Structures are given as structure tokens and as C-alpha cells.
Chains A and B, each alone.
Chain A
Amino acid sequence: MKLSWWKWLTIVLLLYTVIMGMLSEVPRLAILNETIRNLYFHVPMWFGMILILLVSVVYSIKYLRNPLTRNDIIAYESAKVGILFGVLGIITGMEWARFTWGEFWSNDPKQNASAIGLLIYFAYLILRGSFQDHQQRARISAVYNIFAFAALIPLLFILPRMTDSLHPGNGGNPGFNSYDLDSRLRAVFYPAVIGWTLLGVWVVHLRTRLEVLKQRFYENA
């Protein structure tokens, strides 16, 4: 089996993430204890989601400038993979919150914001479903995709800085500086982010090829 280099890189990075994520030494912190390992699985989901949704928006913009079916397919498939990452992020986050905050859903601003973010993209899927004409569907959902992403910016980057939250790294900065200082965590965390994001790109790549082939098949059939 011949794979291009970045696919091998994905495999290696993810194997490294899973093995080192489960076995490596982590700082002993009160309450968090071993759940700190969720940093390697939960946080990269959000990084991956944002990056892949960004890809989706970029291809929506590209579609509006140059209406090729391929651009529309990439925008659609990456939006779907972004949603998948978002759902996984919420699930891993809820599981983690169960052990550290005591409840799956404790009405935290971050949890609510991520749920709203997902609602926006579910709405995108519904919108796509309600058109018959291919070109109209592609163009109007591209418009909504860009519009929704712009509306997502205050939700993700402004509101969390204005409200208090239980989420780690809060109080002015929604990052994770207090953990990030530990080089042992960093050594696994950065590869994890790259690995999971590349996995997302891989899925988008495969789905796009499949859809393009399907289109070609139906055109010739």
C-alpha cells in the first residue's frame, strides 16, 4: 500500500499520541489527577474543528469566486468533518466534566457556546437539504457558511473572555497556560493537535475523492 508522506505522519503521530498519552508521566494536580490526559484528546478536537471549519469557509469563498463543483464538495465535506470533531469534543468534554465538575452538563459558558456552534452547523446541513437545484444549493449554502462563521467569531473569541467559567485556563484568557508550562505535557500535546487535525484532513480528502467520483459516474451513466 502506497501512502503519501503526510498520511504516514498522521499514523505515526496518532500512535505516539495514544501510547504516550496513556503511559507518559503527567503532573499530579488536585482534582484533575489522571483526567489531565484528556488534554491530548479533548483539546485537539476543538483545534481540529476550528481548522477544518476554516478550510470549509475558505472553500466556500473559493466557490463564490469560482463556481466549481469540487470547491462546493470540499466545503461540504469539511463542514461535516468539523461537526464530527465538534461532537467528539463535546462528548470527551462532558465525560471529563463528569469527573472534575461533578456533572455532564453544568451550564458552563464554554459548554453552551460549543453547543450553539454545533447548532449553527446543523442548520447548515438542514439548509443544504432544502434545495433541489445543485448550483443554487452550492451558492446559497456557501453564503450561509461564511455568514455563520463570521457570527461564530464573537461566540468563540469574545464572549468566553467576558464571562466566568469553570473551564481550565479561564479568567481573561481561554487558553491553558498553567498546564502548558509543563514540557512533558507539551511534548505530547502539540503532536496530538497536528495528528488529529491531519486525520480530519485525511477524512475530508477521501470523502471528496469519493464524491467527485460519484458525480463523474452519474454524469456518464
Chain B
Amino acid sequence: MCCTFAEKLEEVLLKEVIYLMQKDFVLEWRQKYAFNGMLLYVGSTVFICYLSFSLRFGGLEVPVWNALYWIILLFTAVNAIAKGFAQESRGRLLYYYSVVSPQGVILAKMIYNAALMLVLSLLCFTFYAVVIGNPVQDVGMFLVTIVLGAVGFATSLTMISGIAAKAANTGTLMAVLSFPVMVPMLLMLMKMSKNAIDGLDPSVSLDEALVLLAINMIVVTVSYILFPYLWRS
């Protein structure tokens, strides 16, 4: 006997997660319009900000630049991840229900959403920096913040989108349920990215980074435990 039962179970779960993620990426590739739609959403939001702050003369002040970036990202995340569960048809969900474990589904969705958010937020940063200007002094640290932010947004919004998809008015509920839950994360992220923009030493942001990781752990664990109950309906 090489493996215990728990190890076997883990192996099965890992396989499920990989399969489900592959399926999500393939689906995304086949429905490129949805992804392109998200890109256009990011692009036009940035451009609207550019126009409405009439930035042709002089840039934005640093705190405003920072806040605006994260708010754009927050709305993008809510819109991008809301479709995660809503796009799955009833029949397909029923099919998953009979073949894979719920833990596999939620983990795969989280990882997939994190990847999606990572791409979107990096593109958003690039476009934002080009159009509005780039005051960031410590780009490496800013990228680390973006990675933490993308993963954090993805994990907490995945569970919320699962909840909201079950209810009648998904769009409103998604925003209402997720904003208060995400505020602690957003505050930490803004502080961290402000430090990165000002070029402070990375050790200053260590506290924030640890809290963000802790919040992520809480969210992932709770989602992992709760999702099976959500799925049963």
C-alpha cells in the first residue's frame, strides 16, 4: 500500500481541479467575445476617467490616481467574476454535480478567476499608465500589490458570485453583497500601492501584505467549507 485514503482523495481532487480549470480556459477561448468585452470595459472606463478629469493638462494627484485605479479594478472584478457562475447553464451544473466534487468546482473557479483578474488588472495598469500617466516609483512592489489584489478579489468574489447566481436579481446582489466584504482588502491594497507609488522600502508594506494573505486564507477556507452547501440547491 503506497497511499492512504486521504492522499488518494487529495490526488482525485487535484485532478478534478486541473480538469475543471482546463475546461474554463477552453470555454473562455471559444467565447472570446466575453473576454474581449471585459477588455473593452476596462479600456473605456479608463478613458472615461481620463476625459472626465480632463487630464490633458497636468496629471492626477497621487492619492486620487491610486484610489481611481483600485475603484476601476473593483468594478471590473465584480463584472468579470459575476458571470463565472451565471454563465453555466442549469443542465451543465447538474452534470458537474453528478461527476465532480463541489470542492473541486470552487477551487478551480477560484484559480481560474485569479488568472483572469491577473490578466485584466495588469492590462488595466498598462493602459492606465499610458493614458493617465505613471507616478509609480517602485514598479516591482506595485506589481506584487496587483498580484495580491487580483488573487484577493478573485477568491472573495468567486464565493459571492456563487451566492448571487442563485438569487433573482444577480447584478445588484453581486455589488451589494461583495462591496462591504471587500472593503478591508481594498483598504490594505490601497495603502500598499500608495507605499509602492511613493517608493518606500518594501518592509513598510510587510504588515499589509501579511494581513492580505491572512484575509485570503480565511476567505478560501470558508468558501471551501461552505460551497458544498451552496451547491446542493
Which single member of B159, B167, B222, B229 contacts A139 (CB below 8 Å)? B229
Given A127-B177, A131-B167, CB of A154 within 8 Å of CB of B215 = yes
Contact yes or no, A153 B218, CB < 8 A: yes
Chain A nearest CB, measured from B188 CB (Å): 8
Judged by a CB distance under 8 angstroms, whether B71 is at the interface is: no
Judged by a CB distance under 8 angstroms, whether A146 is at the interface is: yes
Chain B nearest CB, measured from A78 CB (Å): 19
Q: How far is the CA of A150 from the CA of B160 in the complex (A)?
A: 13
For chain B, which range describes its interface: under 10, 10 to 19, 20 to 34, or 35 or more residues? 20 to 34
Judged by a CB distance under 8 angstroms, whether A120 is at the interface is: yes
Judged by a CB distance under 8 angstroms, whether A148 is at the interface is: yes
Residues of chain B contacted by A119 (CB below 8 angstroms) = 179-180
Given A116-B183, A131-B168, CB of A126 within 8 Å of CB of B173 = yes
Residues of chain B contacted by A144 (CB below 8 angstroms) = 163, 177
In the complex, residue of chain A having the shortest beta-carbon distance to the beta carbon of B167? A130
Q: How far is the CA of A132 from the CA of B166 in the complex (A)?
A: 11
Q: Which of A150-190 contact B (CB under 8 A)?
A: 150-151, 153-155, 158-159, 162
User: What sequence of 0s and 1s flags, for each residue 44-69 of chain A, a beta carbon within 8 Å of any chain B beta carbon?
Assistant: 00000000000000000000100000
Q: Which of A93-118 contact B (CB under 8 A)?
A: 116-117
Which single member of A64, A132, A159 contacts B187 (CB below 8 Å)? A159
Q: How far is the CA of A116 from the CA of B176 in the complex (A)?
A: 12
Chain B nearest CB, measured from A130 CB (Å): 4
Contact yes or no, B215 A120, CB < 8 A: no
Contact yes or no, B184 A154, CB < 8 A: yes
Judged by a CB distance under 8 angstroms, whether A215 is at the interface is: no
User: What sequence of 0s and 1s flags, for each residue 128-144 of chain A, a beta carbon within 8 Å of any chain B beta carbon?
Assistant: 00111001100110111
User: What sequence of 0s and 1s flags, for each residue 196-233 of chain B, a beta carbon within 8 Å of any chain A beta carbon?
Assistant: 00000000000100010011001100110010011011
Given A130-B168, A139-B233, A159-B187, CB of A151 within 8 Å of CB of B226 = no
Judged by a CB distance under 8 angstroms, whether B169 is at the interface is: yes
Q: How far is the CA of A163 from the CA of B230 in the complex (A)?
A: 35
Q: How far is the CA of A41 from the CA of B181 in the complex (A)?
A: 28
Contact yes or no, B167 A150, CB < 8 A: no
Given A127-B177, A143-B163, CB of A155 within 8 Å of CB of B183 = yes
Residues of chain B contacted by A116 (CB below 8 angstroms) = 180, 183-184
Q: How far is the CA of A77 from the CA of B114 in the complex (A)?
A: 36
Chain A nearest CB, measured from B161 CB (Å): 12
Residues of chain B contacted by A158 (CB below 8 angstroms) = 184, 211, 214
Contact yes or no, A148 B229, CB < 8 A: no
With A127-B177, A150-B218 known, 7 other A-B pairs at CB within 8 A are A140-B233, A142-B229, A143-B230, A147-B159, A147-B226, A151-B156, A159-B184
26 A-B contacts, Cβ less than 8 Å apart? Answer: A116-B183, A117-B180, A119-B179, A119-B180, A123-B176, A123-B177, A126-B173, A127-B177, A131-B168, A132-B168, A135-B233, A139-B229, A139-B230, A140-B230, A143-B163, A146-B222, A148-B180, A150-B218, A151-B156, A151-B215, A151-B219, A153-B218, A154-B215, A158-B211, A162-B207, A162-B211
Measured CB to CB, the residues of A under 8 A from B are: 64, 116-117, 119-120, 123, 126-127, 130-132, 135-136, 139-140, 142-144, 146-148, 150-151, 153-155, 158-159, 162
Q: Which 7 A/B pairs are nearest by Cβ-Cβ distance?
A: A119-B180, A120-B180, A130-B167, A151-B181, A150-B222, A123-B176, A130-B168
